[in-house]
Amino acid sequence: MAGLLEALDGDPAVDREVGDGALVRALLDVEAALARALARAGLVSDDAAAAVAEAASTLDVDAEELGRRAVAAGNPVVPLVRDLAAAVPEHAQDAVHRGATSQDILDTALQLLARRALEPVLQYLRAAGDAAARLARDHRRTVMVARTLGQPAQPTTFGLRAANWLAGLDAANAELTRIRDEVLAVQLGGAAGTLAGYDAGPADGRGSEPLAAGVQVMAHLADELGLADPGVPWHTERSRVQTLGSALGVAVAACGKVATDVILQSQGEIAEVAEGAPGGSSAMPHKRNPVASVLVVAAARRSPGLVGTLLASGLHEQDRATGSWHAEWAPLRELLRLSGGAAAHTASVLDGLDVDPVVMRRNLDAAAPGVFSESLAAPLIPVLGRAAAQDAVRAALDEAPGGGLELVAVLRHDPAVADAVDEGELAARLDPVHALGAADAVIDRHLRAHDRQRVVAP
């Protein structure tokens, strides 16, 4: 998971948690936890469960070789269970994989793998959010030109732009935290989701009720692994996988929004920001490329297709799927990788971002006086009506493109405007500080929400 190209879009801390070795470890951890859960439910002895757990913790597995052996069964659990059973003493054989099917183990292992991988992902998202919050606080008075549809629009502040980044990062963080704590769950249903493997049979003349025993084992398994207890099997109900995949896609997109803005604002013709650790060019030594942001954008372009694959794979036929289940594995792991890389890169970019308020003001001044058109039209509307006021401002801008008092004078050529609107009021509206609306209050709301989230975050 960290090859020549993979290292570019991942992160070592996350890659370690989703690689082949990590998946094998998760599979064995689930088998060990299942044995302990069986013992807690009174279905096997404590000694047998301990023997399975010991074998699982010491089993030496070559992931590549296991993958080759998995082809015959269509999944790696079948050969892995065979190896585990061979390593367990005879008295503990009944505690190996009892009542479970391959999908139970692999589904649970992937949920466990996701929980482990989400820890560094969430750390990076929190770090990115904290860095965005600092930028919002530090630059709440740093005026710049807002750009809508790619064109200069109105005055805004860089602090507000950073606060909007913060909102997206915090939303992604909150949803992935909820999924980690509430959605990621164990899977246990047996061959057809009936929990029939926990029917002790009629040896005592009565037998045992498999639902009660299976649900008990499921609860113990969840407790052993730190995952949610779903209460019922979910072999063909795949909303947990889809919810996780969708949230990962949203997180990458939130990072991609930040990266897109950094790339645009760091263009040579704009030069308002720059990555603190920029990359170079193999051909042009003068370039200061926003390499980390470019990699985040690349991840954001790939993620929607992976989310789409997970959604399309939700069509699990009847009681166990024919291929849809298998189609989930690779995109889910890749989404975890991409979210880790995107969040890590975004945290690094925001923490080291070079912001140039002087250039921001220069670009704003270059876009003036047109960026003040709405502000100038506002006091004219009660006098002329909305459409006429906007026409008057548009005509005045054509006649006095340099702005300043000349523009004010042109607007006041209309006697009705001159009588109703003071020259000083119109002149003040050419100051960007008076054209920021509720930007400061919006920033404060985002910052307060961020602070509340940081207080409750585990």
Buried b (16+ CB within 10 A) or exposed e, 360-385: bbebbeebbbbbbbebbbbbbeebbe
| Helix axes of 404-411 and 386-399: crossing angle, nearest 10 degrees | 140
| 281 part of the active site | yes
Owner of token pair 């009588």: 419
List beta partners, residue 354.
Answer: 274
- The catalytic residue among 16, 134, 302, 320 is 320
Give me the DSSP letters along 128-166.
HHHHHHHHHHHTTT-EEEEEETTEEEEEEEHHHHHHHHH
Give the helix ranges, DSSP H, for 352-458.
357-367, 373-377, 381-384, 386-399, 404-411, 415-420, 423-428, 439-456
The Cα 314–Cα 382 span in angstroms is 57
List the structure tokens of 207: 């037998």
Catalytic residue among 239, 281, 386, 452: 281
Distance of alpha carbon 299 from alpha carbon 415, whole angstroms: 58
386 catalytically annotated: no
Query: What CA–CA distance (Å, rounded) separates 353 from 96?
Result: 53
**CA-based Rg of the chain, rounded to a whole angstrom?**
30
Distance CA 323, CA 306 (A): 16
What are the catalytic residues? 281, 320
